[in-house]
């Protein structure tokens, strides 16, 4: 029996095969963090498999309560409420996540920025916009954005947002972090193999008992129902983002929902990107950043990072890749 998990350019699948008879593959779709998480585990019996899945779901819920900017009881909410007022003492887990987010902002020249939650929503991707925002409106909308205004005090374990009105959000890194934590929990509980798919952020570990790897199917950028090639993955993660998953059109031109936090404008030139790395958290953050950076800078950045690869689809449906990723030349147009 095969297990299919939807992912990539409209249709990317992860495929695993039946384990030896002493193992069973158990899978369940669970609503978590406002998304549908597909969790698959290999267990000695079905009952234990479902217990493992519930444990993973509980861990993801724990992370969500920690990082949610909407939960009035979360430390993230308290940080935002005290922007421009005072530092907030937080758990080391949250402090470390914010610290890593700032590091990603630095290596991406601000293309990734958790303070982008501070922006005013001058772009609407719900079909209600009749005119594009003016340059002045766009500029004003990001006046409180800027990761350099996050002040961390490691000794006091506090986080302070310098400007009133500033906010942080983990929308571009939180799912990946939650996936990593759930995977770590399951592995610590001796779950030998599995897949966690958080609507585009995915991680795998282990293999079939035969030693065969999980496979990722890379879909045709034009036809969502055609697989171009298969990539084996082992102890790895992947994240994908589609610029035009939500969009608005003016005078026949599409503007996608991925905005550059440095300019407040929709990104141009790329339609989709997928990033491969060991950490789902890193994949989640980088896939947004490379779309903002564009093809040349995005490829250059990924090529400089060890153990990280990426696939890009440009606005002309051409597929591009980073140096270490092996794809059939026939699919590179």
Give all domains of the chain, ordered by start, each with its CATH number: 3-67+174-233 (3.10.520.10), 75-161 (1.10.3980.10), 239-331 (3.10.520.10)
Predicted confidence at residue 215, as pLDDT, reads 77
Question: Both tokens of residue 253?
Answer: 């031109």
Low-confidence ranges of the chain (pLDDT < 70): 1-21, 208-211, 220, 222-225, 328-333
Q: How many CB atoms lie within 10 A of CB 242?
A: 20
pLDDT digits (tens, 9 = 90+) for 292-332: 999 999 999 999 998 999 999 999 999 999 999 877 654 55
Question: Both tokens of residue 30?
Answer: 């669970």
**φ, ψ for residue 255, nearest 5 deg:** -125, 115
Query: Which string of DSSP letters, residue by residue, matches 31-68?
Result: EETTEEEEEEEEESSHHHHHHHHHHHHHHHHHHHHHH-
Distances (CA, A) of 86 to 12, 67, 91, 146, 150: 45, 19, 17, 18, 12
Which is nearest to 59 in space by CA: 221, 198, 161?
A: 198
Helix axes 280-293, 295-304, angle to 10 degrees: 150
Predicted confidence at residue 12, as pLDDT, reads 47
Predicted confidence at residue 21, as pLDDT, reads 52
- pTM (2 decimals)? 0.90
Predicted confidence at residue 8, as pLDDT, reads 40
Predicted confidence at residue 225, as pLDDT, reads 65
DSSP run (H or E) holding 139: helix 135-141
Predicted confidence at residue 326, as pLDDT, reads 78
Q: Do residues 123 and 129 touch, judged by C-beta distance below 8 A?
A: yes
Predicted confidence at residue 16, as pLDDT, reads 54
């Amino acid at each position: 029996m095969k297990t299919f998990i939807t992912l990539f350019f409209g249709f990317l699948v992860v495929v695993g095969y039946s384990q030896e008879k002493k193992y069973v593959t158990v899978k369940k779709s669970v609503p978590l963090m406002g998304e549908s998480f597909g969790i698959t585990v290999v267990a000695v019996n079905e009952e234990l498999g479902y217990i493992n899945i519930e444990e993973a779901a509980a861990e993801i819920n724990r992370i969500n309560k920690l990082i949610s900017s909407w939960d009035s009881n979360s430390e993230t909410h308290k940080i935002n409420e005290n922007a421009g007022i005072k530092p907030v003492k937080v758990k080391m887990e949250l402090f470390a996540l914010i610290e890593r987010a700032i590091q990603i902002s630095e290596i991406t020249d601000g293309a990734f920025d958790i303070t982008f939650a501070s922006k005013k929503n001058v772009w609407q991707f719900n079909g209600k916009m009749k005119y594009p925002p003016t340059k002045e409106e766009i500029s004003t909308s990001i006046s409180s954005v800027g990761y350099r205004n996050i002040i961390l005090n490691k000794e006091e374990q506090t986080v302070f947002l310098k400007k009133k009105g500033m906010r942080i959000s983990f929308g571009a890194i939180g799912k990946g972090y939650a996936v990593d934590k759930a995977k770590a929990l399951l592995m610590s509980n001796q779950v030998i193999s599995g897949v966690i798919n958080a609507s585009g952020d995915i991680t795998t570990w282990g293999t079939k008992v035969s030693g065969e790897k999980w496979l990722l199917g890379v879909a045709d950028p034009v036809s969502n129902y055609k697989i171009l090639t298969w990539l084996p993955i082992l102890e790895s993660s992947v994240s994908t983002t589609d610029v035009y998953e939500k969009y608005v059109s003016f005078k026949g031109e599409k503007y996608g929902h991925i905005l550059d936090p440095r300019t407040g404008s929709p990104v141009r030139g790329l339609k989709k990107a997928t990033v491969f790395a060991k950490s789902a958290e890193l994949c989640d953050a980088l896939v947004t950043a490379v779309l903002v950076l564009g093809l040349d800078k995005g490829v250059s950045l990924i090529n400089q990072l060890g153990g990280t690869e990426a696939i890009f689809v440009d606005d002309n449906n051409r597929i591009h890749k980073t140096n270490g990723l092996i794809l059939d030349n026939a699919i590179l147009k």
